[in-house]
């Protein structure tokens, strides 16, 4: 099928399918549930389930699954077939409302961070009717939330849905104050841009570090990296272009609005951006996108790497979370309009985001803290670990003028003139682009750029939604009581500029001066996951999440445990992989080549009079490197053993961070220096050159 509009959503039980297949009253109930975020009426579940099943079977499906996002960072599914036996030894295909609404996968094999010790292993999945069911691999997938027997969230979706309700509740109070009484729901919207690498499967298969860890643990830099800036937006190679075309089609079939595909800054690095949609759907779609990237790549003899830093010395991969909020009547809170200084809803929302980000910096940092992303943040390629906001000069001026009670001069806002009559003139954006800011205002949305490429976008949006809800709550309470609305809005903006203005930074976020300046301003600089995560369970954060019904104390504590445990597990696997690579391949390879050089020296000596300085120098260098590698590898083994015997999750993670990571970096240094002088055919692993330029 070549017609994209016919292809789009072909595997989705979407609005038009529902309208066609459901009785009108059932359709209307379901539709209002979806639109207004109400609880589903269970009396309609049987009818919906039967319609879904019939539709799925017509499309060749034989199974169904509750599709959910446990705290592993990826999705989970348990497939059940539709078959049900009849008395006469045959089967019929059945799917009940009960099976649609509720599933009971055994929760004991999913991370629960201590919740399991105190509660039953039983877990429930519950249908999320606001995200459409779809067919993948002949299976009807029903997006669900996952919780424990006693109702604690064990997944990433539940808190996300709760946070969307929290911000809806507070944002409704705000829009009512502006007279928009027809608004029934305020939804946050997200467009996540996704970066990834593609490598040849044949080369990948020879790298245990890529196979076990998703990133290279050793590898000397290739003579060419990204310095020529010739990859970004460059012409697509044929194989990559074919992959992207197929990926788009697969995603379109699933109703994912894949829009933009291009090469990224590093060689072999690419990006996909979808059109934005409601946050929980965007989160589901981003998970599907990552899954489809991996699957489609394999069909093209490629492997898609989603790790945040697969190669040392070249840019890593991130995910940009473009966030805004809109009413069901179509008002975008963050759209400045032609005269932003007169758009009070916009200015108030801007102030709310500034205050939220300043007062809850650590939450944004926590939401992107993973072992993989630690290699990226602050490495002069991605935003630093310090949170700041880029507003651009014009909006900063507007806020300052309001704070100082002076008139804003807008004569600067001019049309773009490219100096040629044939090129049409267009209005310049309110802000230029600033690629170094972690949290940038980009026209009608905020773009948070610290997310790692492999993570779910859920955690980040749980944080943004909840912290903005908290500030909206405070603003709404003040404004509801105010006698002079406009004066109170100005007072709020003035206060935010004075108290929270320190978070605004329009300069170069990669510079060293900024790190110093940020410290002077008292901004947090949480360099690693181990520094950041424990702050999640501060009393201030627990109080806020509980107040808005997003996460309770038990859930927060369990999440802290899970994230730290996960951090240690990743480093454990990496360390074991590196030890094996050194002991079984690198050390023997260096020994073998040194041995060969020694034989050459002996041969030369036996002839006499032939200079063997080069061989002797190489022997000395390689032997020295090899003994360092050997000794460091033994130290690494000991460090891992010590970490694994450590009782508390935080102490254990600290050993991995403080000791294991450093030893791994040291080993790498010696291994890479040896690699650069050992002949290619005698080095056990494909080089960076092959990995990055083989497609």
Of 190, 667, 565, 81, nearest in space to 675 by CA: 667
Nearer to ligand ADP, 69 or 189 (CB): 189
Q: Is the CB of residue 190 less than 8 Å from the CB of residue 275?
A: no
Where on the chain is the footprint of ligand ADP (CB under 6 A)? 189-191, 193, 273-276, 320, 322-324, 332, 442, 444-445, 447
Nearer to ligand ADP, 56 or 190 (CB): 190
Shortest Cβ 306–ligand ADP spacing (Å)? 18
Sorted by sequence, the CB contacts under 8 Å of residue 219 that are 6+ apart come out as 311, 312, 672, 675, 685, 687, 688, 691
Shortest Cβ 274–ligand ADP spacing (Å)? 6
**Per-residue x/- marks for Mg ion, 281-320, CB under 5 A?**
---------------------------------------x
Instruction: From the list Mg ion, ligand ADP, none, pick the one residue 300 interacts with, judged by a Cβ distance below 5 to 8 Å according to partner type.
Output: none
Shortest Cβ 285–ligand ADP spacing (Å)? 11
Nearer to Mg ion, 347 or 382 (CB): 382
SS3 label, residue 319: strand
Maximum Cα interatomic distance, the chain, rounded to a whole number of Å: 103
Q: What is the per-residue DSSP string for 160-198?
A: HHHHHHHHHHHHHHHHHHTT-TT---EEEEEEEEEEEEE
Of 320, 432, 316, 323, nearest in space to 378 by CA: 316
Q: Is the CB of residue 395 less than 8 Å from the CB of residue 340?
A: yes
Shortest Cβ 367–Mg ion spacing (Å)? 18
The tokens describing 355, both together, are 């205050």
Distance (Å) of CA 499 to CA 387, 465, 496, 502, 519? 16, 21, 5, 7, 16
Instruction: From the list Mg ion, ligand ADP, none, pick the one residue 273 interacts with, judged by a Cβ distance below 5 to 8 Å according to partner type.
Output: ligand ADP
Residue for token digits 């790549």? 297
Shortest Cβ 488–ligand ADP spacing (Å)? 27
Instruction: From the list ligand ADP, Mg ion, none, pick the one residue 436 interacts with, judged by a Cβ distance below 5 to 8 Å according to partner type.
Output: none
Shortest Cβ 262–ligand ADP spacing (Å)? 9
- How far is residue 453's CA from residue 264's CA, in Å, rounded to a whole number? 13
Shortest Cβ 336–Mg ion spacing (Å)? 18
Q: What is the per-residue DSSP string for 554-585?
A: HHHHHHHHHHHHHHHHHHHHHHHHHHHHIIII
Nearer to ligand ADP, 190 or 695 (CB): 190
Shortest Cβ 64–ligand ADP spacing (Å)? 31
Nearer to ligand ADP, 276 or 472 (CB): 276
Residue nearest to Mg ion (CB): 320
Nearer to ligand ADP, 112 or 455 (CB): 455
Number of residues located near Mg ion, criterion CB under 5 A: 2
Residues numbered 313 to 332 that lie near Mg ion (CB under 5 A) are 320
Nearer to ligand ADP, 272 or 354 (CB): 272
Instruction: From the list Mg ion, ligand ADP, none, pick the one residue 168 interacts with, judged by a Cβ distance below 5 to 8 Å according to partner type.
Output: none
- How far is residue 668's CA from residue 675's CA, in Å, rounded to a whole number? 10
Shortest Cβ 445–ligand ADP spacing (Å)? 4
Nearer to ligand ADP, 55 or 439 (CB): 439
The tokens describing 507, both together, are 């300069």
- How far is residue 201's CA from residue 190's CA, in Å, rounded to a whole number? 33
Shortest Cβ 38–ligand ADP spacing (Å)? 23
**Per-residue x/- marks for Mg ion, 360-379, CB under 5 A?**
--------------------
Helix axes 458-481, 539-547, angle to 10 degrees: 70
Shortest Cβ 280–Mg ion spacing (Å)? 21
CA-CA-CA-CA torsion for 658, 659, 665, 671, nearest 10 degrees?
Answer: 180
Sorted by sequence, the CB contacts under 8 Å of residue 402 that are 6+ apart come out as 341, 347, 408, 490, 493, 494, 497
Q: Is the CB of residue 674 less than 8 Å from the CB of residue 622?
A: yes
Instruction: From the list ligand ADP, Mg ion, none, pick the one residue 263 interacts with, judged by a Cβ distance below 5 to 8 Å according to partner type.
Output: none
The tokens describing 421, both together, are 């009559």
Q: How many CB atoms lie within 10 A of CB 354?
A: 25
Nearer to ligand ADP, 275 or 418 (CB): 275
Dihedrals phi, psi of 587, to nearest 5 degrees: -60, -50
Shortest Cβ 18–ligand ADP spacing (Å)? 25
Helix axes 613-644, 661-675, angle to 10 degrees: 160
Instruction: From the list ligand ADP, Mg ion, none, pick the one residue 219 interacts with, judged by a Cβ distance below 5 to 8 Å according to partner type.
Output: none
Nearer to ligand ADP, 431 or 558 (CB): 431
Nearer to ligand ADP, 157 or 320 (CB): 320
Shortest Cβ 159–ligand ADP spacing (Å)? 20
Nearer to ligand ADP, 317 or 324 (CB): 324
Distance (Å) of CA 439 to CA 218, 332, 376, 604, 676? 32, 18, 16, 64, 40
Nearer to ligand ADP, 160 or 190 (CB): 190
Distance (Å) of CA 45 to CA 73, 80, 418, 489, 522? 29, 18, 58, 46, 53
Instruction: From the list Mg ion, ligand ADP, none, pick the one residue 276 interacts with, judged by a Cβ distance below 5 to 8 Å according to partner type.
Output: ligand ADP
Instruction: From the list ligand ADP, Mg ion, none, pick the one residue 673 interacts with, judged by a Cβ distance below 5 to 8 Å according to partner type.
Output: none
Q: Is the CB of residue 55 less than 8 Å from the CB of residue 71?
A: no
Q: How many CB atoms lie within 10 A of CB 450?
A: 25
Shortest Cβ 262–Mg ion spacing (Å)? 11
Helices (H), 178-309: 201-204, 208-213, 238-253, 279-299
**Per-residue x/- marks for Mg ion, 43-82, CB under 5 A?**
----------------------------------------
Q: Is the CB of residue 469 less than 8 Å from the CB of residue 548?
A: yes
Instruction: From the list Mg ion, ligand ADP, none, pick the one residue 445 interacts with, judged by a Cβ distance below 5 to 8 Å according to partner type.
Output: ligand ADP
Shortest Cβ 282–Mg ion spacing (Å)? 14
Sorted by sequence, the CB contacts under 8 Å of residue 6 that are 6+ apart come out as none
Instruction: From the list Mg ion, ligand ADP, none, pick the one residue 500 interacts with, judged by a Cβ distance below 5 to 8 Å according to partner type.
Output: none
Question: Whats the size of the chain, residue-wise?
Answer: 695
Distance (Å) of CA 135 to CA 56, 434, 693? 7, 40, 36
Residue nearest to ligand ADP (CB): 191
Instruction: From the list ligand ADP, Mg ion, none, pick the one residue 383 interacts with, judged by a Cβ distance below 5 to 8 Å according to partner type.
Output: none
Nearer to ligand ADP, 112 or 321 (CB): 321
CA atoms within 13 A on the CB side of 245: 9
**Per-residue x/- marks for Mg ion, 165-194, CB under 5 A?**
----------------------------x-
**Per-residue x/- marks for Mg ion, 189-208, CB under 5 A?**
----x---------------
Instruction: From the list ligand ADP, Mg ion, none, pick the one residue 235 interacts with, judged by a Cβ distance below 5 to 8 Å according to partner type.
Output: none
Please give the residue ranges that form the binding site for Mg ion (CB under 5 A). Answer: 193, 320
């Amino acid at each position: 099928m070549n017609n994209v509009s016919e292809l789009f959503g072909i595997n989705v039980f979407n609005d038009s399918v529902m309208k066609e297949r459901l009785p009108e009253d059932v359709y209307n109930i379901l539709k209002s549930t979806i639109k207004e975020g109400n609880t589903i009426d269970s009396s309609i579940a049987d009818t919906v389930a039967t319609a879904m099943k019939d539709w799925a079977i017509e499309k060749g499906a034989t199974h169904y699954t509750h599709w959910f996002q446990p705290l592993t960072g990826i999705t989970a599914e348990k497939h059940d077939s539709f078959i049900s036996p009849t008395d006469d030894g045959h089967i019929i295909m059945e799917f009940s409302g009960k099976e649609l609404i509720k599933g009971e996968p055994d929760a004991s094999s999913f991370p629960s961070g201590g919740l399991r010790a105190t509660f039953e292993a039983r877990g429930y999945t519950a249908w999320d009717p606001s995200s459409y069911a779809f067919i993948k691999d002949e299976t009807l997938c029903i997006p669900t939330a996952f919780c424990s027997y006693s109702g604690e969230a064990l997944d990433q979706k539940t808190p996300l849905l709760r946070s969307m309700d929290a911000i809806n509740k507070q944002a409704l109070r705000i829009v009512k104050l502006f007279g928009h009484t027809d608004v029934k729901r305020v939804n946050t919207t997200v467009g996540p841009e996704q970066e990834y690498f593609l490598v040849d499967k044949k080369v990948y298969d020879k790298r245990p570090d890529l196979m076990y860890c998703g990133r290279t643990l050793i590898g000397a830099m290739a003579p060419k990296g990204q310095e020529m800036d010739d990859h970004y937006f460059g012409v697509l190679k044929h194989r990559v272009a074919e992959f992207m075309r197929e990926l788009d089609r697969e995603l379109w079939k699933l109703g994912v609005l894949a829009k933009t595909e291009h090469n990224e800054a590093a060689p072999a690095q690419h990006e996909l951006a979808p059109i934005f949609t409601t946050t929980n759907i965007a989160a589901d779609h981003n998970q599907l996108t990552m899954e489809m990237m991996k699957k489609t790549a394999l069909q093209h003899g490629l492997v898609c790497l989603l790790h945040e830093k697969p190669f040392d010395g070249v840019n890593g991969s991130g995910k940009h979370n473009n966030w805004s909020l809109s009413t069901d009547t179509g008002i975008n809170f963050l759209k400045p309009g032609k005269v932003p200084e007169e758009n009070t809803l916009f200015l108030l929302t801007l102030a709310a985001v500034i205050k939220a980000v300043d007062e809850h910096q650590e939450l944004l940092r926590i939401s992107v803290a993973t072992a993989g992303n630690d290699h990226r943040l602050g490495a002069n390629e991605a935003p630093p670990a310090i949170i700041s906001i880029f507003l651009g000069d014009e909006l900063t001026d507007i806020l300052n003028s309001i704070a100082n009670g002076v008139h804003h001069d807008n004569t600067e806002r001019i049309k773009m003139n490219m100096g040629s009559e044939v090129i049409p003139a267009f209005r310049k954006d309110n802000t230029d682009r600033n690629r170094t800011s972690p949290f940038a205002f980009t026209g009608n949305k905020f773009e948070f750029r610290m997310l790692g490429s492999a993570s779910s976008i859920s955690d980040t949006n749980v944080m943004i939604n909840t912290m903005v809800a908290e500030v909206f709550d405070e603003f709404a309470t003040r404004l509801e009581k105010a006698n002079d609305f406009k004066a109170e809005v100005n007072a709020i903006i003035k206060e935010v500029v004075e108290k929270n203005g320190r978070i605004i930074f329009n300069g170069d976020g990669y510079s060293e001066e900024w790190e110093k300046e940020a410290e002077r301003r008292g901004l947090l600089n949480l360099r690693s996951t181990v520094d950041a995560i424990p702050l999640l369970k501060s009393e201030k954060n627990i109080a806020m999440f509980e107040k808005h019904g997003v996460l309770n104390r038990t859930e927060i504590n369990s999440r802290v445990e899970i994230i730290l445990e996960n951090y240690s597990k990743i480093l454990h696997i990496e360390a074991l992989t590196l030890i094996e690579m050194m002991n079984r391949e690198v050390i023997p390879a260096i020994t073998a080549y040194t041995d060969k050089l020694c034989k050459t020296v002996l041969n030369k000596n036996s002839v006499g009079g032939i200079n063997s300085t080069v061989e002797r120098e190489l022997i000395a260098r390689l032997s020295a490197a090899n003994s360092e590698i050997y000794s460091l590898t033994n130290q690494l083994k000991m460090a891992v053993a010590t970490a694994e015997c450590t009782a508390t999750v935080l102490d254990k993670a600290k050993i991995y961070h403080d000791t294991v990571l450093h030893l791994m970096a040291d080993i790498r240094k010696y291994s890479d220096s040896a690699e650069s002088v050992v002949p290619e055919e005698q080095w056990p692993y494909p080089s960076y050159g092959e990995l990055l330029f083989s497609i």
